Amino acid sequence: MFDDSDFDIFEETTLDARMTAIREVIDPKFEQLAQVILPVLSADGQTWTAHIAKHLRRTTNAPDNTWVAFAPNKRGYKMMPHFELGIWADAVYLYLAVEENMKPQATEAIMAKMQQASDQVAQLPTSYVLSADHMVNATQPLTRAGYEALVTRFGTVRHSEVLVGLKIARGDQRLNGQSAEPLVTAVKTLLPIYQLLK
């Protein structure tokens, strides 16, 4: 699990220094957490793969966040609903994500599935949040109306996404370096919705 010192990687200001810190500090934790999360996901009979972000296209600016995505595809994850575990300078998150890479080919099909999932999303814990972009550190409270607005936006705005899940702020006692249980619980909580979206 993460602890408070892990967030210090974002104090590295250059691309090389931050990427070195990500590879040495965060990526090994992603690998460890994958060993816990993948069996939970694979319980549905699918073979899941962990994809740790490499940030290979970056040549100047250091990444503001980094993540590992879980999907039942060895080649990639952005083209399908998937789970994303990541870290910003101020928080750790675990989202069920539908990203813009599914557009335009799968827009109509995934829109219908996301609309059908509205009831189950509305029953998620009140502490869960919504996000419209996995590359922007901004969330909003989880409400049915908020979710449905994001789904509608996904169908009309090119660069838009629908992410729902758990965000744990730096300093939260759940980030004590000891247990991955909050993240595992979030995966289990979101799995029934994933089953509607896949």
pLDDT band at 5 (very low <50, low <70, confident <90, very high): very high
Please give the pLDDT value at position 59: 82
Condensed to tens digits (0 to 9), the pLDDT of residues 103-112 reads 888 999 999 9
Residue 36: strand, helix, or coil: helix
Residue 1: predicted pLDDT = 84
Pick the closest to residue 190 from 102, 112, 95 (CA basis).
95
Please state, in angstroms and rounded to a whole number, the distance separating the CA atoms of residues 63 and 14.
Answer: 10
Choose among 23, 37, 48: nearest CA to 94.
37
At residue 171, the pLDDT reads: 92
DSSP 3-state of 178: coil
Residue-level pLDDT at 152: 96
Q: What is the pLDDT of residue 150?
A: 97
Sign of CA dihedral 141, 143, 147, 152: negative
Q: What is the mean pLDDT of the chain?
A: 94
Structure-block tokens of residue 5: 């010192």
Q: What is the CA radius of gyration of the chain?
A: 16
Q: Would the pLDDT of 177 be above 80?
A: no
How is the chain split into domains, by residue range? 4-197
SS3 82: strand
The CATH superfamily label for domain 4-197 reads Protein of unknown function DUF1054 (3.30.930.20)
pLDDT at 158 over 90: no
Q: Strand, coil or helix: what is 26? A: helix
Q: What is the pLDDT of residue 23?
A: 96
Q: Is the pTM of this model over 0.75?
A: yes
Residue pLDDT, tens place only, 61-96:
999 999 999 999 999 999 999 999 999 999 999 999
Summarised one tens digit per residue, pLDDT across range 18-56 is 999 999 999 999 999 999 999 999 998 899 999 999 998
User: Could you tell me what percent of the chain has a pLDDT over 90?
Assistant: 86
